[in-house]
Amino acid sequence: MSPDDCPNHFTGHILLRIPHDRAYVATGPSGAQSASCFKVILWLEMLQIFYILVCQQILQGLYSLWNGFAWLGMVRRRLATHAGFYNPKVALICPCKGADAGLDATLMCLTHFDYPNYEIFFAVASVNDPAMKAIERIKASTQRKINVVIAGPPLGRGEKVNNLSKVIDQLDEAFEVIVFTDADTLPSRGWLIKLITPLGDPRIGAATTYRWLLPMRAPKKSALASALGSVWNASIATMLGDHAQNFCWGGGTAIRRMTFLEIGADNFWRGAVADDLALTNAVRGAGMPIVFVPECITPTPYAATFSELVEFTNRQIILTRVYSPKIWLSGAIAHFSYVITFLTALAITFSKFVSGDPWISLAVFTLLIPLLAAMKGALRTIAITELLPEWKVKMHEWSWSWTALAPVVPFLFFWNFCVSLATRQIRWRGLRYRLVSMNQTDILRP
């Protein structure tokens, strides 16, 4: 229907056609009839906008699926490459806090790399930290040289950042490369040599990888929350690739010590909470590329309640808003449009079904949106199974989640972005922080 179908003055009997193919007869001049005509035009325009949004979501889903195939191809190419012969002396730095379940096993992994020329630096805030007992047991059970740095309490920055900074202050010039890792990961024996290999090219700013959360069944934890957290994390892992938008991940990043000093990375850590995002800004600020090393993706056991899941995901998005506002904005637009379009499509489809109007075509368009997301999840599952063959049994156990829950994850992201709009406070390892800016952090009482 067009505006021409609605005359300014109604005389006699005028037949108007409006949505749902229903006929309405207007008699005589009436303001109510003019208002009705206006509502018809408005409804049609809104319906056109809605169809445009649905088509946009489908196109975006197709593009995302294409990226999924490209990511799988990149993984297979990288798995076929040689680790190289770059052999610098490496300082492997692992900040620790608390005695989480399985801490001994994760720390022991750091002593078993197939790379001879490295030393381990465990950094804790206090000698009374529960992690010290596990560190002492690891020291007693290996011949690998292990150093322990007591960093002291943080002042105006995150505890993890403070621990890392204190270690770097003590490194001597013999260490050519610094590698950061976390105390909750289970890297393979070839992880270290593969991660540092790109640094054989001095033009590279940093080499990084990412975690793959492996859902675990544990007492008082939710299997569904753990699975949802894994799928949420997987969508971020596949943002990394052969492009210039990569970011450093604190659980697996390698950088030359001289590069770290020359780009003034420690200055970016002043007043910071997110060590990896601050380091990302330092490397990008120097105009140096960050190389993603998918063959080093690190399995990380993950068991959580729903409250722990929400706290974890909220924290990551709040950190992203402060340290990478452009990435935050693009993510917010993508997930807001997905949720709003999908829910609106469901509502209109249901309305048409109830009123007896044709609804099947719209239902098909609506279901394409989550279907494409599920297909992208299936591609991730194939890729990660090839990357982590030693975890094949665990992958098969949870493979359903990376496909079935992929269409649900945008709703969790939607909540995360809403929370990040309302607050800049986070809780991390028992401490509460207010993120005033990238270089100003208030440490709050727990």
Give a yes or no: residue 158 inside a domain. Answer: yes
Q: Is the pLDDT of residue 61 over 90?
A: no
Q: Is the pLDDT of residue 327 over 70?
A: yes
Give a yes or no: residue 330 inside a domain. Answer: no
Give a yes or no: residue 164 inside a domain. Answer: yes
Give a yes or no: residue 172 inside a domain. Answer: yes
> Residue 184 corresponds to which amino acid?
D
Q: Is the pLDDT of residue 263 over 50?
A: yes
Give a yes or no: residue 331 inside a domain. Answer: no
* Structural tokens at position 152: 């002291």
Give a yes or no: residue 258 inside a domain. Answer: yes
Per-residue pLDDT tens over the stretch 328-358: 999 999 999 999 988 888 888 888 788 777 7
**Count of structural domains within the chain:** 1
Give a yes or no: residue 423 inside a domain. Answer: no
Q: What average pLDDT does the chain have?
A: 87
pTM: 0.85
Best CA proximity match to 234, nearest among 62, 68, 368, 411? 68
Judge residue 104's burial from the number of C-beta atoms within 10 Å of its C-beta, 0-12 exposed, 13-18 middle, 19 or more buried. Answer: middle
Question: For residues 7 and 17, is the Cβ–Cβ distance under 8 A?
Answer: no
115: domain CATH number is 3.90.550.10
- Span 60-86, mean pLDDT? 84
Question: Could you list the residue range(s) of the whole structural domain that residue 115 is in?
Answer: 88-210+249-304
Cα(312)–Cα(316) distance, integer angstroms: 6
pLDDT of residue 35: 61
Cα(217)–Cα(226) distance, integer angstroms: 8
Give a yes or no: residue 134 inside a domain. Answer: yes
Distances (CA, A) of 311 to 126, 331, 413: 25, 18, 12
